[in-house]
Amino acid sequence: MHRQTGSIIVNDTVLLPKNYANLPLTFRKAENERIHEAINDLLERRCNGNLFVHGPAGSGKTSMVKWALDQTEASGRAVCLYTNCWRYSTSMSIYAKIADAFGEPVSRRGRASDEIFDRIVDLMKISKKPVLLVLDEMEALVQYDNARILHNIARVDDERVHFGVIGISEKKNLLSRLPQNTREILRFTEIEIPPYSRGELLHLLKEQAMAGLKPGTYNGRIEARNLQ
């Protein structure tokens, strides 16, 4: 959104948290390439595993995964779904979202979750497309639902059905809370995203100011010690 003449803000979109997707990728080239490669391996079935991205809040992990997901969706290679597990904290709610993506909304009332999952599997066989499912803040799904959806994905044994799962969390040891057999079947590859340094944060703030504010309306001489 662009502001009228007279405002110091020329583009408030880039000033909103998590809305300026290009910025968090600036210092994440290696990690971003690893995520893209892992997704390609998942979809090409060059590996029998999935992906778990973890790191502290504000490290750019969600932005990187969303960026890769958007590119994958644009290619038409998979049905791509992003889910924040604090909003969709049960497997049933995620099943409904997947079914809706296949054009078949399901009523959750009076239906067992396993029945709905089996219907999703049937839809995947018909479409012949894999599902790439991102579970952001996956700790909520583990906490409130015991991540039953992961157990069901792990038990699928059909060459025509392929799920790719990308879990995102601040909690490095979250996978240890899943049943051992589920972990062994899903075989998560871990990618750790480090926090930004003070210098990197300073650079990102300056880029945001340049993109969102009128020249001369802010002081560009911000020192790294102010970020402490």
Give the residue with greater pLDDT, 86 vs 228. 86
What integer pLDDT is reported at residue 8 of this predicted model? Answer: 84
What does the pLDDT look like over 99-144, one tens digit per residue?
A: 999 998 877 666 788 888 999 999 999 999 899 999 999 999 999 9
Do 182 and 146 contact (CB within 8 A), yes or no?
no
What integer pLDDT is reported at residue 15 of this predicted model? Answer: 66
Domains of the chain: 28-195 (3.40.50.300)
Give the residue with greater pLDDT, 195 vs 25. 195
Do 78 and 72 contact (CB within 8 A), yes or no?
yes
What does the pLDDT look like over 158-207, one tens digit per residue?
A: 888 999 999 999 999 999 999 999 999 999 999 999 887 788 777 777 77
User: 96: number of CA atoms within 13 Å, CB side?
Assistant: 12
Give the residue with greater pLDDT, 113 vs 211. 113
Whether the per-residue pLDDT at 94 is higher than 90: the answer is yes
Region of poorest pLDDT, from 73-82, 116-125, 207-216: 207-216
Nearest to residue 13, comparing CAs of 49, 67, 22?
A: 22
Q: For residues 81-97, give the mean pLDDT.
A: 94
Q: For residues 12-26, give the mean pLDDT.
A: 58
CA distances from 117 to 91, 120, 129 (A): 9, 5, 16
What pTM, to 2 d.p., does this model score?
0.82
Whether the per-residue pLDDT at 5 is higher than 90: the answer is no
What share of the chain in percent tops pLDDT 70?
Answer: 84
Confidence of residue 81 (pLDDT cuts 50, 70, 90): very high
Distance CA 39, CA 106 (A): 28
